[in-house]
Amino acid sequence: MIRKYRLGDPIETESVVCPMPVTEGLPEGLLYVSEGCFKKVLTENTRVYGLGETVRGINKRGWKYISNCTDDPVHTETKHSLYAAQNFILVWDADDAVGYYFDTPCKVEFDVGYERYDELVVRLETPDAYVYEITPDLAENESKASEADTPCRRVVRQFRHIIGRSYIPPRWAFGYGQSRWGYKSREDIENVIKGYKEADIPLDSVYLDIDYMDAFKDFTINEKTYPDFPGFVKEVKDKNIHLVPIIDAGVKIEKGYEVYEEGIEQDHFCKKEDGTPFVAAVWPGRVHFPDLLKKETREWFGEKYSFLLDKGIDGFWNDMNEPAIFYSEDGLKEAFKKIRSFEGQNLDIGTFFQFTNVVETINNNPNDYASFYHEYMGKRFRHDKLHNLYGYMMTRAAGEAFEKLSPDKRILMFSRSSYIGMHRYGGVWTGDNDSWWSHILLNIQQLPALNMCGFLYCGADTGGFSANTTEDLMLRWLTVSIFTPLFRNHSALGTRDQELYRFPHKDWMRGMVRLRYALIPYLYSEFMKAALNEDMYIQPLSFAYPEDDRACCTEDQLLVGESIMIAPVYTQNAKGRYVYLPEDMKMLRFEGDVLKEEKVLEKGDHYIDVSLKEVVVFLRKGHALPLAKPANTTAELKNDLTYICFDADPGSYDLYTDDGITPVK
């Protein structure tokens, strides 16, 4: 059952697609303390889930999370905000599950037992919002119950129903992708493809980071480094490989640059209070931000993707759309003025840090976000009042354009920043993680939360973006990423090269990627069923075994689709790990795509050895797992499947298939 409440005068976000009457009063399960502040008592057993892409565990208790889309590349436990604002929270006690969705683009603070362990406090920056309260009981006209439903899963499914169907990518987007910030030319890309070919490692896509553009200008190509781009796209496509370029939010200010000129002429850029276009800076130096909140601007910007679609491109990633700001023109002036004022001084304890602070706070500065305006639904809004919608609207611009520009073909799209609602237009990647062991765990823990919020197509930079990776880290990370819909190896400029073919143990890595390809019929089928049934693709154990307290406390094992559980090793130099089985399961030990061992294990704790070249999967009782013969691209995968079963017939598995490319109606 879902009830919708209105607080004050909310800004419409169009994240909810089901029209619903407003119930008078306030949500029953929350205590309204004061203007925009809610409280709920948490018992010792209450678990709190949701919030999508954030730091820390699956159970969010014991920290404070702030929805405020931020380009912060250091994802440590100390942080409160990452790139996303996904305000869905699920509070679950022994026999009581309730979900809340706070639909407001303003900052929202979720104090989940931070001040007091036994209290959830939600503070809205401004007391204007729609609040949805979702309980597990189903009204007749609400989404159909599934046999596997448990209280948490029901709440999530109902929530997912009102926010609309999750984005569905083309099937090739389940293949392996190689990316790196630093590929400079057509030749660099050709070498990557050659490297994979020679090492016989499957590959479906190569990503083009900012260097494919001419001077970092959106919708341009550097003709010197990428001569005959359409010919290149075709040459690569003939090998069944897709090139996926990046698009940034900022439009370079440059006389004669078409996107800039048109944007000025047709009034598409965000303005300052005085009506002049707001000047910020990102990669190309000075830029304007397209006012993507405005419908006409979304149409205009979305149409621009045709520049690349027309050249044969069929996938994109949207970056820097929090939007990230290196500095604003006004902010920079101020900073120089301040810095000059320190000149000649004896910088001591009091002044030295003030001095360094001037530069440290210049990027993503709150003053800048409060100094430009949008036109949204016919009204003027200061950016900071609806900051969290910007990335959503950028991806929506693309998604809506694709429906017109590519009506017969799905286009790959994922974004860095997001708000619920964006899940209908694209997936997300989790941004600039590090090559740290703790970030494998973070990756594991973000996945179910993203699924709850509708972001089914998601994944992390495999191997880690910043910092230098190592062979063992990459191998272990692969044992997570081969199960995530988006499976991409990406790294930052200046870090150690991490294409799989460069590693001495590339044979082991090849084996893992081959296993991924063998799993694609299953993974795709489970993904599609989750999308079409408004369900979870990756679940925490508590969603399936709510009665089992041990399972509910398990934060480093996941259910992937209906048939399997994974328990990746994520600590360095471990030779295995303890795995908790919430029921009897069949352990499947793979070395590459070769099944080495099958063994039924009883419910309970087991220490499982897992060497660096192995992947261990647990098959649930009464379930079957289809496997294909691996191929070097998804296009070459055949549908002759073999099945591994545990007390089930192969025929019991409900395999979803389609052509993988026609948009699903």
Residues lying near ligand MIG in the complex (CB under 6 A) are found at 181, 209-210, 246, 319-320, 416, 431-432, 490
Q: How far apart are CA 140 and CA 224, in angstroms?
A: 62
d(C-alpha 429, C-alpha 464), whole Å: 12
CA torsion, points 475, 477, 479, 481, in degrees to nearest 10? -130
Nearer residue to ligand MIG within complex by CB, 319 or 593: 319
Sort 275 into a burial class: Cβ within 10 Å, 0-12 / 13-18 / 19+: exposed
What is the C-alpha separation between 577 and 570, in angstroms, rounded?
9
Nearest approach in angstroms of CB 172 to ligand MIG is 21
CB of 55 to ligand MIG, least distance (A): 16
Count, residues in the chain: 665
C-beta of residue 498 within 8 angstroms of C-beta of residue 433: no
Q: By C-beta, is 374 or 490 nearer to ligand MIG?
A: 490
The least CB distance from residue 452 to ligand MIG, in Å, is 23
Nearest distance in Å: CB 490, ligand MIG: 6
CB nearer ligand MIG, residue 85 or residue 320: 320
Angle, helices 151-163/438-452, rounded to nearest 10 degrees? 70
Which of residues 181 and 355 has its CB atom nearest to ligand MIG in the complex?
181
Q: Which residue is nearest to ligand MIG (CB)?
A: 181
CB neighbour burial string for 198-232, b if at least 16 within 10 angstroms, e if fewer:
ebebbbbbbbbbbbbbbebbbbbbbeebbeebeeb
> Would you say 13 or 321 has its CB closer to ligand MIG?
321
> CA-CA distance, 586 to 646, in Å (whole number)?
6
User: If you write DSSP's letter for every residue of 166-194 in order, what string do you get?
Assistant: PP---GGGGSEEE--TT--SHHHHHHHHH
Quote the least distance from Cβ 478 to ligand MIG, whole Å.
19
Of the pair 324, 478, the CB lying nearest ligand MIG is at 324
Q: Which residue has the tokens 């939360």?
A: 449
Toward ligand MIG, which CB reaches closer, 214 or 267? 214
Question: DSSP assignment of 560-598, as one string?
Answer: ETTTEEE----STT-SEEEEEESS-EEEEEEETTEEEEE
Find the shortest distance in angstroms from Cβ 512 to ligand MIG: 22
Of residues 431 and 630, the one with the C-beta less far from ligand MIG? 431
Residue 438 Ramachandran class (φ > 0 left, ψ -120 to 50 alpha, else beta): alpha
Please state the closest distance from residue 431 (CB atom) to ligand MIG, in A.
5
Name the minimum Å distance from CB 362 to ligand MIG.
Answer: 14
Shortest CB 210 distance to ligand MIG, Å: 4
**Is the CB of residue 469 less than 8 Å from the CB of residue 437?**
no
Task: Return the number of other C-beta atoms located less than 10 Å from residue 663's C-beta.
Answer: 14
- Closest distance to ligand MIG from the beta carbon of 135 (Å): 38
- Residue 40 amino acid letter: K
Q: Quick one: tokens of 149?
A: 């439903």
Bridge pairing between strands 108-112 and 119-124: antiparallel
User: Cβ closer to ligand MIG: 114 or 326?
Assistant: 326
Sign of CA dihedral 553, 555, 560, 566: negative
Residue closer to ligand MIG, measured from CB, 247 or 587: 247
Nearest distance, CB of residue 181 and ligand MIG, angstroms: 3
The residue among 331 and 511 lying less far from ligand MIG, judged by its C-beta, is 331
As measured in angstroms, the least distance from the Cβ of 416 to ligand MIG is 6
Closest CB to ligand MIG among 210 and 442?
Answer: 210
Distance CA 419, CA 390 (A): 8
State which residue, 204 or 209, has the beta carbon closest to ligand MIG: 209
Pairing mode, strands 119-124 and 37-41: antiparallel
Q: Closer to ligand MIG at the Cβ: 460 or 515? A: 460
The single-letter DSSP state of residue 271 is B
Question: Which residues, 6 or more positions from 584, have their beta carbon under 8 angstroms from its beta carbon?
Answer: 600, 601, 602, 603, 621
Q: Provide the H-helix boundaries in 413-463.
A: 438-452
Instruction: Please state, in angstroms and rounded to a whole number, the distance separating the CA atoms of residues 161 and 141.
Output: 11
Residue 175 CB, shortest distance to ligand MIG, in Å, is: 19
Q: Min. distance of Cβ 421 from ligand MIG in angstroms?
A: 21
